[in-house]
């Protein structure tokens, strides 16, 4: 009888240890500590880059719902969509019974979901360092140890892409247009950081902020050698007043990315390596 109670006590201690090892407290980007009794098994993500990151870390099967704009990898297309950043659908989210909801910091639904008793984590990568940090956070949340590997893959792909850029292309000065307002990707954005790794120069200095709204005149005066732009906002680019004189337009060095390629380029997530490859390919194609 004595050995039994001792064994039972040992088991109890062991169980407590396991439970303690499983329960985690994760501090999200609001600085709020979120208690997770165990690694979440039913996850809803409301940001495409987070969806991609969760899947890249091998936890795609744990996703039960995503936002309308999450379209990669293919596996998430079959999942229920619970609205977008503009109009998250509270009822649809709750109905999925998630044990964690991952979303961007500007999402309006955070407070409401928390008041309904859901665990909400605000994670929003904005640059390379953020991506690395968010991956580490996701490791804590998911109870995985994938972040170092995923980051190594991104880092290696960016380096490989950089090596494929022909030396002649390295002198090019680039204008990356995010949309035709026009908003540009500056040096301090993750797109700018990737460009810097590729060894090319950006016409928008870091001082202007990550995604400044430019005066079209600024671009004309900066006279970039190459323009990277999404197909959607490329229409009529040559006809903008004064733009016909820009060297990139004159010499036909404009890379128009398809909608799918644009998705890859403008999401700070695990596909940043692929984005670097797309940019490197553009540079090789258009190198003088």
Partner 1 sequence: MNAQRRRALILSLALLALSVGALLFGLGIGSTGFQSVLAARHDPIALQIVWDIRLPRTLGAWLAGGLLGLAGAVAQGLFRNPLADPYLLGSASGASLGVAVALLLFGASPSTTQWVIRLGLTGAAFVGAVVAVLLTLALARGVQQTLRLLLAGVIVGVVLGAVKDLITIQSADILVALTGFMLGSTGLVGWSACALMAIFGASCLLLGWALAPVLDGLALGESTAASLGLPLGAMRAALVAVLALATGAAVAQTGLIAFVGLAAPHLVRSAVKTTHAWLLVLSALMGGLLLMTADLGARWFIAPQELPVGVLTAVLGGSYLLWLMHRRSLRGGA
Q: Are 262 and 231 in contact (CB under 8 A)?
A: yes
Tell me: does residue 223 bind partner 1 (CB under 8 A).
no
Helix 190-198 crosses helix 147-164 at what angle (to 10 degrees)?
A: 50
Residues 62-81 that bind partner 1 (CB under 8 A): 80-81
d(CA 169, CA 280): 9
Pick from 198, 165, 181: nearest CA to 265: 198
Which residue, 109 or 134, is less far from partner 1 as judged by CB? 109
- Tell me: does residue 88 bind partner 1 (CB under 8 A): yes
Q: Which is nearer to partner 1, 147 or 185 (CB)?
A: 185
Whether 36 contacts 227, CB under 8 Å? no
Rule CB under 8 A: is residue 6 a binding residue for partner 1? no
The secondary structure of 168-194 as a DSSP string is GGGG-EEEEEEETTTEE--TTSHHHHH
- Asked whether position 87 contacts partner 1 by CB under 8 A, the answer is yes
Q: Which of residues 240-279 bind partner 1 (CB under 8 A)?
A: none
Per-residue DSSP letter, 202: E
Q: Is 190 in the site for partner 1 (CB under 8 A)?
A: no
By the rule CB under 8 A, 33 interacts with partner 1: no
Closer to partner 1 by Cβ: residue 104 or 283: 104
Question: Which run of H or E residues covers position 25?
Answer: strand 24-27
Tell which phi-psi region holds residue 209, choosing left (phi > 0), alpha (psi between -120 and 50) or beta.
left
Q: Supply the minimum distance, in Å, between the C-beta of residue 166 and partner 1.
A: 33
Among 211, 228, 262, 270, binds partner 1 (CB under 8 A): 211
Give, as one character, the DSSP assignment of residue 213: B
CB of 262 to partner 1, least distance (A): 16
Contacting range for partner 1; rule: CB under 8 A; set: 132-140, 147-155, 205-213, 270-278: 205-213
DSSP string, 199-244: T-EESS-GGG-SSPBPPHHHHHHH--SEEEEEHHHHTTTTTSTTGG
Using CB under 8 A, which of 31, 167, 236, 245 touches partner 1? 31
Joined together, the tokens standing for residue 160 give 């490989």
Pick from 187, 189, 56, 45: nearest CA to 130? 189
**Is 92 one of the binding residues for partner 1 (CB under 8 A)?**
yes
| 91 lies in the site for partner 1, by CB under 8 A | yes
Give the count of residues interacting with partner 1 (CB under 8 A): 32
User: Rounded to the nearest 5 degrees, what angle is found at the Cα of 15, between the Cα atoms of 11 and 16?
Assistant: 120
**What single DSSP character describes residue 58?**
I
Q: 162 or 190: whose CB is closer to partner 1? A: 190
Asked if residue 99 binds partner 1 (CB under 8 A), the reply is no
**What is the nearest approach in angstroms of partner 1 to the Cβ of residue 81?**
8
Does 11 bind partner 1 (CB under 8 A)? Our answer is: no
Residues at the contact surface with partner 1, assessed by CB under 8 A: 29-32, 80-81, 83, 85-92, 94-95, 97, 105-109, 111-112, 115-116, 126, 183, 209, 211, 213
């Amino acid at each position: 009888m004595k050995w039994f109670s001792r064994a039972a006590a040992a088991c109890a201690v062991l169980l407590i240890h396991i439970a303690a090892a499983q329960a985690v407290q994760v501090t999200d980007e609001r600085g709020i500590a979120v208690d997770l009794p165990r690694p979440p098994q039913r996850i809803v993500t409301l940001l495409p880059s987070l969806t991609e990151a969760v899947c890249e870390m091998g936890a795609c099967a744990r996703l039960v719902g995503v936002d309308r704009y999450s379209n990669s990898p293919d596996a998430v297309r079959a999942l229920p969509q619970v609205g977008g950043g503009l109009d998250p659908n509270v009822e649809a989210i709750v109905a999925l019974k998630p044990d964690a909801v991952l979303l961007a910091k500007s999402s309006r639904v955070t407070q409401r979901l928390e008041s309904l008793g859901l665990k909400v984590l605000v994670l929003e990568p904005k640059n390379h360092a953020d991506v690395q940090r968010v991956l580490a956070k996701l490791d804590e949340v998911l109870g995985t140890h994938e972040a170092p590997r995923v980051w190594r893959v991104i880092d290696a792909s960016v380096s490989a892409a950089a090596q494929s850029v022909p030396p002649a292309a390295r002198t090019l000065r680039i204008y990356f247009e995010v949309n035709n307002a026009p908003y540009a990707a500056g040096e301090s954005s993750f797109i700018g950081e990737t460009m810097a790794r590729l060894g090319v120069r950006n016409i928008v200095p870091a001082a202007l902020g990550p995604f400044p709204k430019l005066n079209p005149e600024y671009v004309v005066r900066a006279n970039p050698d190459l323009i990277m732009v999404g197909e959607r906002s490329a229409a009529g680019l040559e006809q903008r007043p004064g733009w016909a004189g820009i060297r990139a337009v004159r010499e036909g060095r404009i890379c128009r990315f398809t909608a799918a390629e644009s998705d890859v380029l403008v999401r700070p997530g695990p596909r940043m390596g692929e984005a670097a490859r797309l940019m490197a390919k553009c540079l090789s194609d258009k190198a003088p």
